[in-house]
């Protein structure tokens, strides 16, 4: 009887070891980080698009460059190198 219980216990340990709980938690953390980063990137893109629309409303034209937009906004902390911008249409896309 003890031999059967020991065999069942041993078998359940091997079956339960298919995934490492620490590895699984790490993977879930990375997935969560990636989702958070994507949400931040999308929010930043939308904020930049609002700034471009506001600039146009105030000046009657789109900014010639994102650097112009940056200067008009008082040097806010965005990186113009992260975006592709068309000053003719005001279209902005993220490079990442």
Look at the chain and count its residues: 96
pLDDT of 2 strictly over 90 = no
- Asked if residues 84 and 92 have their Cβ atoms less than 8 Å apart, the reply is yes
Look at residue 73 and give its three-state secondary structure: coil
Average pLDDT of the residues in 40-48: 90
pLDDT at 72: 79
Q: pTM for the whole thing?
A: 0.67
Calpha distance 58→60 (Å, rounded): 6
């Amino acid at each position: 009887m003890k031999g059967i219980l020991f065999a069942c216990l041993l078998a359940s340990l091997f079956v339960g070891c298919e995934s490492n709980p620490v590895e699984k938690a790490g993977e879930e953390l990375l997935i969560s980080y990636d989702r958070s980063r994507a949400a931040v990137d999308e929010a930043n893109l939308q904020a930049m698009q609002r700034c471009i629309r506001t600039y146009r409303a105030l000046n009657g034209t789109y900014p010639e460059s994102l650097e112009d937009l940056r200067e008009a906004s008082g040097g806010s902390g965005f990186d113009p190198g992260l975006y592709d911008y068309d000053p003719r249409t005001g279209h902005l896309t993220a490079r990442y």
